[in-house]
């Protein structure tokens, strides 16, 4: 049984880890979005790396990320597309969300070529991510719809946040963003 915080590759999740993730996500989203699935959670892109935080023996928080080369303006950028950010209802407001976000950023920095963490979120959660050190960028974003996995969705002004995936700081490039796949 796991305790504490673990950073795991998707392929290294045990059956017990997947069950714990199912319980955490279904506890929050089953009624509105149906059951969580590991390989296309709610139609979003799956994580290739997971940060799992246990309180005692229960999984209390998760954040995942997936490495992908996306297009930004005239450039290609390797990002850690970040999603599945969830803290169990009973553990919210205790700093655990901030802790797993920082742990995820540390994990991104150990991967050779990830330049930035990248995520999209609802406007009301922006302050949470900013407190974890993420920064908002403003751009038009294109991606494949998570709902049908084929139509192209273009959004403007939906909050997008990034963090540095490198030890030295670098500038997020100007221009429209093409996620070249479904969002996270
Ligand atoms: C959003 C969420 C992950 C925050 O986790 P948490 O463990 O409660 O957050 P923390 O206790 O680490 O909070 C860190 C800071 O962010 C702030 N914060 C947390 N949730 C916030 C929210 N929804 N809106 C604004 N600020 C928030 C806290 O006040 C705290 O600020 P402080 O350092 O000044 O005290 C959690 O509420 C959750 O799982 N919500 C449901 C799922 C969700 O919305 N996920 C995000 C999808 S984009």
Give the tens place of pLDDT for each residue, 95-111: 999 999 999 999 999 99
Q: What is the C-alpha separation between 171 and 175, in angstroms, rounded?
A: 12
Helix, strand, coil content of the chain in percent (nearest 5): 30, 35, 35
How far away, in angstroms, is 149 Cα from ligand 1 center? 29
Render pLDDT for 56-102 as a digit per residue (tens, 0 to 9): 989 999 999 999 999 999 999 999 999 999 999 999 999 999 999 99
What average pLDDT score do residues 23-35 get?
A: 98
Render pLDDT for 44-60 as a digit per residue (tens, 0 to 9): 999 999 999 999 989 99
Q: What is the pLDDT of residue 39?
A: 94
Q: What is the pLDDT of residue 57?
A: 87
Cα pseudo-dihedral 133, 134, 137, 140, rounded to 10:
-170
Q: Whose CA is nearest to atom 27 of ligand 1?
A: 128
Cβ-count burial of 56 within 10 angstroms (0-12 exposed, 13-18 middle, 19+ buried)?
A: exposed
167 pLDDT exceeds 80? no
169 pLDDT exceeds 80? no
- Cβ–Cβ < 8 Å for 163, 117: yes
Q: What is the pLDDT of residue 126?
A: 98
Q: What is the pLDDT of residue 89?
A: 97
Regarding the beta carbon of 156 and ligand 1, being less than 6 Å apart is answered no
Q: What is the pLDDT of residue 2?
A: 85
pTM: 0.96
Q: What is the C-alpha separation between 169 and 96, in angstroms, rounded?
A: 26
Q: Whose CA is nearest to atom 36 of ligand 1?
A: 87
Residue 117's closest CA among 49, 53, 55?
A: 49
- Cβ–Cβ < 8 Å for 42, 146: yes
Under DSSP, the state recorded for 47 is: P
Percent over 70 (pLDDT), the chain: 99
How far away, in angstroms, is 92 Cα from ligand 1 center? 7
Q: Going by C-beta distance under 8 Å and a sequence separation of 6 or more, which residues neighbour residue 39?
A: 46
Q: Whose CA is nearest to atom 32 of ligand 1?
A: 131
């Amino acid at each position: 049984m796991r305790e504490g915080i673990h950073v795991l590759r998707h392929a290294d999740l045990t059956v017990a880890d997947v069950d714990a993730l199912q319980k955490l996500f279904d506890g929050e989203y089953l009624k509105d979005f149906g059951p969580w699935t590991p390989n296309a959670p709610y139609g979003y892109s799956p994580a290739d790396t997971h940060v799992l935080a246990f309180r005692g023996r229960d999984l209390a928080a998760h954040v995942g990320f997936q490495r992908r080369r996306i297009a930004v303006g005239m450039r290609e950028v390797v990002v850690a597309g970040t999603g599945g950010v969830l803290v169990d209802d009973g553990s919210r407001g205790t700093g655990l969300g901030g802790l797993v976000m920082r742990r995820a950023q540390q994990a991104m920095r150990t991967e050779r070529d990830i330049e930035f963490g990248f995520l999209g979120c609802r406007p009301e959660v922006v302050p949470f991510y900013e407190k974890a050190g993420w920064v908002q960028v403003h751009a038009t974003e294109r991606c494949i719809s998570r709902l049908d996995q084929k139509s192209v969705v273009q959004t403007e002004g939906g909050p997008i946040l990034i963090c540095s995936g490198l030890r030295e700081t670098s500038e997020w490039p100007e221009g429209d963003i093409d996620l070249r796949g479904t969002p996270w």
